[in-house]
A and B are shown apart, each in its own frame.
Chain A
Amino acid sequence: MLIRSRKSWELPYSAVTPEPIYRSRREFMRTATAGLLGAAAGTAIACGDADSAVGAQGRLTATRNAKYSVADPPNSFEHITSYNNFYEFGLDKDDPARYAGRLKVEPWSVKVDGLVGRPGTYGVDELVDFNALEERIYRLRCVEAWSMVIPWIGVPLASVLQKVEPLPAARFVEFTTVERPSEMPGLRVPVLEWPYREGLRLDEAMHPLSFMVVGLYGQVLPNQNGAPLRVHSPWKYGFKGAKSIVRIRLTDRQPRTSWPTMAPHEYGFYANVNPEVPHPRWSQARERRLPDFFARTPTLMFNGYGDEVASLYAGMDLRRNF
């Protein structure tokens, strides 16, 4: 007889709020705000159009993966899509929601190069099998000490990498975010080295928890969240998840990524969630689970995914490799 013990962060299928309930909540919000929006006619029309476009053609069908979902209640669609760090659209948290509509995500192609057996330029649907989409409810812990719970839709990052056949010499993977100044007003401000680059060790990228995200709450991923495809490795700080990826490069050397390049003493390449290693300017011991006022949620080692990922770092000094 197979006895499977459930991990601390696993969610029984019964605890997941059925999608129709979330959808109806959205409907309610929309109806309730429709009157208000009506007052500002121009804005109302713009909002209405954007919403219906997503509703009409943006639906994704995915199977919920209870094994890789946490039991924490997810944040609302509004929260997840209106409070974002995506500096290419601006530095304020509401800038991405305001400006990301300008980004043209169709058509989209991803250049795959470096130590791979099948280099080339791929369309999104060549890298992501849209018939095998999963929904996973992940915790997202930002390095700024806030967190959310997000029902992503996507495929294991490993399945994407397997399609391009990493060579045995490959040890790291580097992701590059799109850089289009005409569509991304934040690129005018040189706060980071553009284009944004992120990376993972290959074994981290191949870990079943590393997720290539293409959707959110049953919909195609909104631009401000990194459309059309972005990475999320939930045991790492949020900035490790490259958004709007245009290039995937396999390499034998640790890539020079954007945040550690900007401030090497504050942001490391690994950026594993670790309550014991503070950011130089603030503690990482607790977090603000938005929209909570209080930073009262204890931060868990590896964001609570330690059972799955701690072995990746056996023997490593996580204070030095922060």
Chain B
Amino acid sequence: MPARLFYWLVFAAAAAPGGVLAWRAWTGDLGVNPAETLLHTSGRWALGILIATLAVTPIRRLTGWNRIQQVRRMVGLWSFTYALAHFLLYAVFNHLGDIRAIWADVVERPFILSGMAALVILTVLAATSPAAMVRRLGRRWRTIHRFVYPAAVLGVVHFAWGQKADIREPLVWGGVLGLLLLVRVAAWAGRPASRQVEVTR
């Protein structure tokens, strides 16, 4: 498969949920509580795609399929896009765009704070994702982008906190995230000693 084709296939797959949602909104097919459908669906995809982003490097390491690496930034930016849409829908539908009401919600409710913190992190990561920024930040870029893990953890926490009674789905996402973190820790622990020295220097 040509490299560009693979890239655009992944791009289309990540864009599809948004397209389906927009189509359902256009045709009035969002159900009795359309705002809730939009909010829940956008939030779910933001988290799902974020966790998919975190799976890219482990998949490359385990399978040796290096080409997958070229989609990582793009997939990550899609996660940010859904998260931003999720926030804007919340701001407009739940708070009618009232910034003070949103701020009050953030400071009063850990449930909202957890989601907002994840969004702030994703915003920083998106802003530092262009190649020029990667060059400019040098080694600091890696440090900044490790915050993707706290963002994903906050995303899972926010999802679980939002449930009224049943947290099975966020638990599944949390399990997948835990597994991906474990793979990273295992890779870190198992790397050659010489490199450890290099990093601590």
Contact = CB atoms under 8 A, between A and B. Distances in A.
Interface of A: 79, 82-83, 87, 91, 93-94, 144, 146, 189, 191-192, 262-263, 278, 280-283, 288, 290-296
Interface stretch (B56-64, B66-74, B118-126, B162-170): B162-170
27 contacts: A82-B31, A82-B32, A83-B32, A83-B33, A87-B165, A91-B165, A91-B166, A93-B32, A93-B33, A146-B36, A192-B165, A262-B165, A278-B108, A281-B109, A281-B111, A281-B162, A282-B111, A283-B105, A288-B33, A288-B93, A291-B34, A294-B92, A294-B96, A295-B35, A295-B94, A295-B96, A296-B96
B87 interface: no
B113 to A, nearest CB: 11
Contacts of B36: 146, 288
A83 B31 CA distance: 8
Interface in B73-109: 92-96, 105, 108-109
> Could you tell me the dominant secondary structure of chain B's interface residues?
helix
Nearest to B168: A189
B161 interface: yes
Range class of the B interface residue count:
20 to 34
A294 B93 contact: yes
A282 B165 contact: no
A191 B96 contact: no
Given A94-B31, A280-B109, A293-B34, 12 more contacts: A91-B165, A93-B33, A191-B165, A191-B166, A192-B165, A263-B165, A281-B161, A288-B33, A288-B35, A290-B33, A292-B35, A293-B93
Nearest to A288: B35
A147 B161 CA distance: 22
Nearest 4 CB-CB pairs, A to B? A83-B32, A191-B165, A281-B111, A293-B35
Contacts, number: 56
A264 to B, nearest CB: 14
A294 B92 CA distance: 8
Nearest to A293: B35
Nearest to A282: B109
Contacts of B33: 83, 93, 146, 288, 290-291
A79 B165 contact: no
A272 B61 CA distance: 56
A283 B166 CA distance: 21
A94 B29 CA distance: 14
A292 B33 CA distance: 7
Nearest to A143: B164
B85 to A, nearest CB: 14
Nearest to B92: A294
A144 B164 contact: yes
A82 B111 CA distance: 28
Nearest to A80: B32
Contacts of A280: 109
B162 A291 contact: no
A305 B37 CA distance: 30
A258 to B, nearest CB: 10
A299 to B, nearest CB: 13
B144 to A, nearest CB: 31
A113 to B, nearest CB: 29
Interface in B14-38: 31-36
B35 A294 contact: yes
A192 B93 CA distance: 30
A293 B161 CA distance: 23
A262 B36 CA distance: 24
B124 to A, nearest CB: 26
A83 B30 CA distance: 12
A280 B96 CA distance: 21
A280 to B, nearest CB: 7
A73 to B, nearest CB: 15
A94 B95 CA distance: 26
Interface string B122-165: 00000000000000000000000000000000000000011011
